[in-house]
Chains A and B, each alone.
Chain A
Amino acid sequence: MRERLEQLKHEALEELKSVLDAKRLDELRVKYQGKKGKLTEILRGMGGLSAEERPVIGQLANEVRDAIDAAVTTHAERFEREETERRLASETIDVTLPGRKLPRGAVHPLMQVIQEIEEIFIGMGYQIAEGPEVETDYHNFEALNLPKDHPARDMQDSFYITEELLLRTHTSPVQVRTMQRMDGEVPIKVICPGKVYRRDDDDATHSFQFHQIEGLVIGKNIRMSDLKGTLLTFIQKLFGEDAQIRMRPSFFPFTEPSAEVDVMYKKKGATEPSWLEILGCGMVHPRVLEMSGYDPEQYSGFAFGMGAERIAMLKYGIDDIRHFYNNDERFLKQFARQ
């Protein structure tokens, strides 16, 4: 019997060595270990053994079973592993194909510029003020020290509705309205963004509708040096910490002294940075303060203004102002970075 067991073990292990798939493995397991298997068959003869032999043969039989079990398990694990590998291989996808994206629209580039500027100034303690787009002649011109016969007030240059009403030519009337609303109170620190309109033929750099962002500060002891400091901080937040500005004397009827501000900036496609005109500013003209109820001997202030289109064109390297109003999706979707 011992020989038969040894023989069986040898035979089983040999046969298992050549097994190729899980099905055959199961057949072999049944053949040797099953209820009607060969091991069982041999063990049935245990009854004829002596009391001394029985435990010895029993132990041997267990060893044989364990050996076959171990071999079967090893093969089974291998087959399972191979099966998993096969399945995984068959499930492989092309990860370079596009994914299902979340929808992505673009905030209009002009609104992005305006929002960025608003947020910079909110951080500096400013409120955002708004006003009507159809303005009275008084708020748009007169209260800003542009008397009736001022050349800038020609019918040819503005979109008048009646003699007393027109589409605002700048957002400065919002400054006037803010001063009137504040009724002599200080400090005033506001940013006035919005659409403005001028009777100008359209071309790559002119549009009869465009967006301005203006700022107004009124208080006690507001100095031109404060204006310079404010604008330097702003420009460095907008164009980077290294940005430099310079002020050049200029003229606006509503400020005195007045200045143009240039920023040193490398335009898209340019090899060298150069001074680019970016905004106009100045100390609020005493006439403007007086007309809106602020005594220029007690209060002073500064104002500045810039075009959102110009800044967007500089920042993004846009070459034609009309792109902002055509709403061509190929243009708009380039600004969908969120």
Chain B
Amino acid sequence: MKVSTQWLSEYVSLDGVTPEELAEKITRSGIEIDEIEHRNLGVNGVVVGYVKHKEKHPDADKLNVCTVDVGSGEDLQIVCGAKNVDAGQKVPVAVVGAVLPGDFKIKSAKLRGVASQGMICSAKELGMNDKLLPKDQQEGILVLPEGTEIGLPITQVLGLDDAVLEFDLTPNRSDCLSMIGAAYETAAILGRDVKLPAIDLIEAGGSASEKVSVTVENGELCSHYAIRYISGVKIGPSPQWMQNRLMAAGIRPTNNVVDITNYVMLECGQPLHAFDADKLGSSIGVRSAREGEVLTTLDGQERKLDPSMLLITGEDRPAALAGVMGGLETEVTESTVNIALESAKFAGASVRKTSRKLGLRSEASLRFEKEVDPSAVIAALDRAALLLARHAGGSVAHGIVEQRGGSVQEKTISLSLPKLNAYLGTDISMLEVKAIFARLNFKCADSAQGVIEVQVPTRRGDITRDVDLIEEAARIHGYDNIPTTVIEGPTTPGSYTKSQAVRLTIRRMLTHGGFHEAITYSFTRPENTTKFTAFSAGTNAVPLAMPMSEERSVLRTSLLPLLLESAAYNRNRKNADLSLFEIGKVFHSNEEKVTAQPTELTMLGLLLTGSKVEEVVGAQSRKVDFFDLKGAVESVLAELGLQAEYRADAPDGFHPGRSASLYLSQAPDKRVGVLGQLHPQLQRDFDLEDTYVAEICLDEWYAAAMPEMEYRELPRYPSAQRDIAIVVDQAIEAGALLSSVRASAGELLEDVRVFDVYTGEHVAAGKKSVALSLTYRNPERTLTDEEVAQAQQNVVNALEQTFAAELRK
């Protein structure tokens, strides 16, 4: 809402308050002022002049030489190039020494040999906004109304010495979508009085009810519908002061009738509509549209209507979309003589629905959507009728033709002072509270000790219970005057939950391992939901009802496609070496057509691609491989105190020979992760080099993670280490060999690890040599050679029997 301070000062005194100070005060009291617009962009010394004569320039066809009276006692000779300049006009004259916007100084000049003592100005030259100028003022010099006083500063005539405050209203403060509402707010903040415009309407001629009738069918969507009948209007421009105010508010002047309805809407917040009564007919109705009905609205568009839309009809024919826009057929035109002036209260939700459905928003719909003040319906109607009589020569018929459901009641709310102070943490006295409500123009009366009954004006529909009154009191008292205190009562221990602590640990481990944390979008392309199905097989992806694009139309079912897109993004920026991880949710539903909240799994995604390069001079880079990825996963598991198994697997999207599934040792039947090389096909699709990815479901980790630390006594007796090398088929996994060793070596085995795997010379084709290192120890005494040799023999026997292993000598 653009609030002209000049206009505002008519209702509340702004003496001694600059627009900047006012803006700051209003902002600090709850309505943000986005911008202060000074209407004068640098006009100085321009006055109203009277063109006495116009003669053709002797040497230039397109120029005129004008004799202009600017009230200085001496006529000026001014050369003017505008086509529309003529004798007898009142025009803005920039005399010698005047300044126009852009710091354009006017000097005396000679134009093709003829002296010119100034310049006759167009509206644009005065810095006025093109888009808001009446159509007839967009070209040529600005011709002012005949009665304009010669010699007056043009800034005064055009209301340019005005600062306009842009109120950025929160949805609850639609009361300030009007100048009167803004005036009440300003008055409360400044502690001054509000003076409202007088409505001294004189009715003349016959009775309105003889001219029109009103029938409201949908009382629930239109609680009040009122018509005044004004006859004999003469369409013409509205007064300059009214045009100035409309332009300050951002509305382009049209003609006196339309301008008056807009002006009163701005003043009272009540949208009005003027019908050409002769085109509308005498029987006015309010009803739902019927299937198949159409209406051509004022903007010339034919609108298809449906029964959810509320209509105004004339003789049962669609005439206007209630609260949204009028119809073209019943529009006020140059030839209009009689007017049916509408003021009504339409239900906000209904107006919003219609306006959304048709993509049609107007100043009227904006106000109706937020519920207009029911008391303003008649006040605005009378005010507009008065102005039509005054500025359009109309004659207002006796009475109002209306239909309304019930009368308007002001709410009364009890407010307890102890509660107010307990709620705010303040110590405000009853006297102060009463003074605040007096400033707000809310009446209040004592009811019990410390309790008052506050009567809320109908313009403040947002105030419904005592906390709303407490807020009013707080904001006028000033939020700055609320003290800062510490919460009283029992202290509470703050902490992370286990799952939060696990995620923090993972984040710390991986970043210390050189991975950067990524955050990708939670929605993706549908084809990305079928690439990695380890955790979503047999379920359905969750689509958005109204996606913004196909690219982001479905909730992700895996983090990996998005991490791969991030890798591709980096590769396109010449960065092919990347270690990324993400912790985030994936979504899937067990229902074909989603009705219940989908399953949300918290996943850890890892991505390694390109080469590992040490930042040391001369260091060799090497391509990342499976074991870089597995090592990262192992480190995280170790940090969390989790034991896991890796089993060769070929999940969707992975290289079938270089991938594994991950199982926690305590639940060896439940897959909790997949890791491995990206399938070469996907690698090509994403345009990446060799890439390794892992995805792990953290929900399965939380319970077992981070067990208590355990201390084991340091060994007192020495250990014995024995290495063996065996030759086995290449297909045999090291993990199987280790399991066999652990099972066969007996209790003395403390540790076993693979320290070499070799194929090539001296090893038969299809075979590999695996070197194992075994550590034995007896915690009770020193080992004997015999018992170690026996254990070794058991191991060798087992390996020979199970894997046909040959011992290398």
Binding site for B on A (CB under 8 A): 97-108, 110-111, 115, 118, 121-128, 130, 132-136, 149, 151-152, 154-156, 159-162, 164-165, 167, 187, 189, 195, 197, 199, 201, 208-209, 217, 219-226, 228-230, 232, 246-251, 256-259, 283, 285-286, 300, 324-330, 332-333, 336, 338
Contact of A224 among B482, B493, B545, B555 (CB under 8 A): B482
Near A by CB (< 8 A), chain B positions 567-598 give: 569-570, 573, 575, 578-580, 584-585, 587, 594-598
**B496 and A187 within 8 A (CB):** no
B782 CB-CB contact with A under 8 Å: no
B707 CB-CB contact with A under 8 Å: no
Chain B residues lying within 8 Å of A326, measured Cβ to Cβ, are 566, 569
**B467 and A256 within 8 A (CB):** yes
Chain A residue at smallest Cβ distance from B587: A134
Chain A residue at smallest Cβ distance from B463: A256
**A134 and B598 within 8 A (CB):** yes
User: Would you give the 0/1 interface string for B65-83, flagging 1 where the beta carbon is closer than 8 Å to chain A?
Assistant: 0000000000000000000
**A122 and B496 within 8 A (CB):** yes
Q: A149-B352, A249-B29 are in contact. List 8 more A-B contacts (CB 8 A).
A: A99-B616, A105-B516, A167-B544, A226-B487, A246-B28, A326-B569, A328-B570, A330-B575
Near A by CB (< 8 A), chain B positions 496-520 give: 496-497, 500, 504, 507-508, 510-520
B369 CB-CB contact with A under 8 Å: yes
**B518 and A149 within 8 A (CB):** no
How far, in angstroms, from A155 to B544 measured CA to CA in the complex?
Answer: 11
How far, in angstroms, from A336 to B504 measured CA to CA in the complex?
Answer: 15
Chain B residues lying within 8 Å of A221, measured Cβ to Cβ, are 422, 488-489
How far, in angstroms, from A233 to B310 measured CA to CA in the complex?
Answer: 53
23 contacts between A and B (CB under 8 A): A97-B616, A100-B615, A107-B508, A108-B516, A111-B519, A134-B555, A135-B597, A151-B369, A161-B544, A162-B595, A165-B595, A187-B490, A223-B423, A225-B484, A228-B425, A229-B487, A246-B28, A248-B27, A256-B467, A327-B566, A329-B575, A329-B578, A332-B516
B465 CB-CB contact with A under 8 Å: yes
B669 CB-CB contact with A under 8 Å: no
Q: Answer whether A98 and B615 are a contact pair too, CB < 8 Å, given A151-B369, A248-B479, A336-B511.
A: yes
User: Would you give the 0/1 interface string for B656-694, flagging 1 where the beta carbon is closer than 8 Å to chain A?
Assistant: 000000000000000000000000000000000000000
B281 CB-CB contact with A under 8 Å: no
B717 CB-CB contact with A under 8 Å: no
B38 CB-CB contact with A under 8 Å: no
**A106 and B511 within 8 A (CB):** yes
Chain B residues lying within 8 Å of A126, measured Cβ to Cβ, are 492, 494
**A327 and B512 within 8 A (CB):** no
**A208 and B548 within 8 A (CB):** yes
Binding site for A on B (CB under 8 A): 27-30, 32, 170-173, 348-349, 352, 356, 369, 422-426, 465, 467-468, 470-471, 474-475, 479-480, 482-497, 500, 504, 507-508, 510-523, 542-548, 552, 555, 566, 569-570, 573, 575, 578-580, 584-585, 587, 594-598, 600, 614-617
How far, in angstroms, from A110 to B582 measured CA to CA in the complex?
Answer: 12
How far, in angstroms, from A224 to B493 measured CA to CA in the complex?
Answer: 22
Contact of B542 among A108, A161, A220, A327 (CB under 8 A): A161
**B480 and A128 within 8 A (CB):** no
The residue among A98, A101, A326 with the most chain B CB atoms within 10 A of its own CB is: A326
Chain A residue at smallest Cβ distance from B580: A327
**A226 and B486 within 8 A (CB):** yes
Chain A residues lying within 8 Å of B479, measured Cβ to Cβ, are 246-249, 259
**A133 and B600 within 8 A (CB):** yes
A294, chain B: closest CB distance, angstroms: 14
**A105 and B517 within 8 A (CB):** yes
A27, chain B: closest CB distance, angstroms: 43
Chain A residues lying within 8 Å of B523, measured Cβ to Cβ, are 159
Chain A residues lying within 8 Å of B349, measured Cβ to Cβ, are 149
Q: Answer whether A134 and B600 are a contact pair too, CB < 8 Å, given A161-B594, A187-B490.
A: yes
**B489 and A105 within 8 A (CB):** no
How far, in angstroms, from A223 to B596 measured CA to CA in the complex?
Answer: 38
**B484 and A151 within 8 A (CB):** no
Main secondary structure of the interface of A (DSSP, over half): mixed
Chain B residue at smallest Cβ distance from A252: B170
**B516 and A257 within 8 A (CB):** no
Q: Answer whether A160 and B518 are a contact pair too, CB < 8 Å, given A103-B512, A105-B513, A128-B496.
A: no
A92, chain B: closest CB distance, angstroms: 16
**B467 and A283 within 8 A (CB):** yes
Chain B residue at smallest Cβ distance from A160: B545
**B482 and A225 within 8 A (CB):** yes
How far, in angstroms, from A332 to B518 measured CA to CA in the complex?
Answer: 8
How far, in angstroms, from A144 to B425 measured CA to CA in the complex?
Answer: 24
**B519 and A324 within 8 A (CB):** yes
A118, chain B: closest CB distance, angstroms: 7
Chain B residues lying within 8 Å of A189, measured Cβ to Cβ, are 492, 494
Q: Answer whether A105 and B482 are a contact pair too, CB < 8 Å, given A125-B494, A325-B521.
A: no
**B487 and A219 within 8 A (CB):** yes
**A286 and B616 within 8 A (CB):** no
Q: Answer whether A133 and B486 are a contact pair too, CB < 8 Å, given A123-B494, A125-B491.
A: no
How far, in angstroms, from A251 to B471 measured CA to CA in the complex?
Answer: 10
Q: Answer whether A108 and B517 are a contact pair too, CB < 8 Å, given A127-B494, A223-B485.
A: yes
Contact of B512 among A98, A99, A102, A201 (CB under 8 A): A102
Contact of B522 among A100, A121, A133, A199 (CB under 8 A): A133
Chain A residues lying within 8 Å of B495, measured Cβ to Cβ, are 122, 127
**B489 and A327 within 8 A (CB):** no
Chain B residues lying within 8 Å of A222, measured Cβ to Cβ, are 487
Q: Answer whether A105 and B510 are a contact pair too, CB < 8 Å, given A161-B542, A187-B492.
A: yes
**A128 and B514 within 8 A (CB):** no
Chain B residues lying within 8 Å of A246, measured Cβ to Cβ, are 28, 479-480
**A187 and B489 within 8 A (CB):** yes
A112, chain B: closest CB distance, angstroms: 9
Q: Answer whether A98 and B617 are a contact pair too, CB < 8 Å, given A247-B479, A251-B173.
A: yes
Contact of B425 among A103, A156, A226, A285 (CB under 8 A): A226
Q: Answer whether A209 and B521 are a contact pair too, CB < 8 Å, given A160-B546, A257-B467, A336-B516.
A: yes
Chain B residues lying within 8 Å of A251, measured Cβ to Cβ, are 30, 170-173
How far, in angstroms, from A104 to B522 measured CA to CA in the complex?
Answer: 27
Q: Answer whether A165 and B594 are a contact pair too, CB < 8 Å, given A102-B512, A127-B495.
A: yes
B394, chain A: closest CB distance, angstroms: 37
Chain B residues lying within 8 Å of A286, measured Cβ to Cβ, are 465, 467
Q: Answer whether A197 and B522 are a contact pair too, CB < 8 Å, given A100-B616, A107-B511.
A: yes
Chain A residues lying within 8 Å of B578, measured Cβ to Cβ, are 329
How far, in angstroms, from A102 to B486 measured CA to CA in the complex?
Answer: 44
Chain B residues lying within 8 Å of A220, measured Cβ to Cβ, are 489
A151, chain B: closest CB distance, angstroms: 6
Chain B residues lying within 8 Å of A285, measured Cβ to Cβ, are 467
**B496 and A118 within 8 A (CB):** yes
How far, in angstroms, from A121 to B493 measured CA to CA in the complex?
Answer: 11
B544, chain A: closest CB distance, angstroms: 5
Chain A residues lying within 8 Å of B515, measured Cβ to Cβ, are 105
Q: Answer whether A167 and B595 are a contact pair too, CB < 8 Å, given A225-B426, A332-B517.
A: no
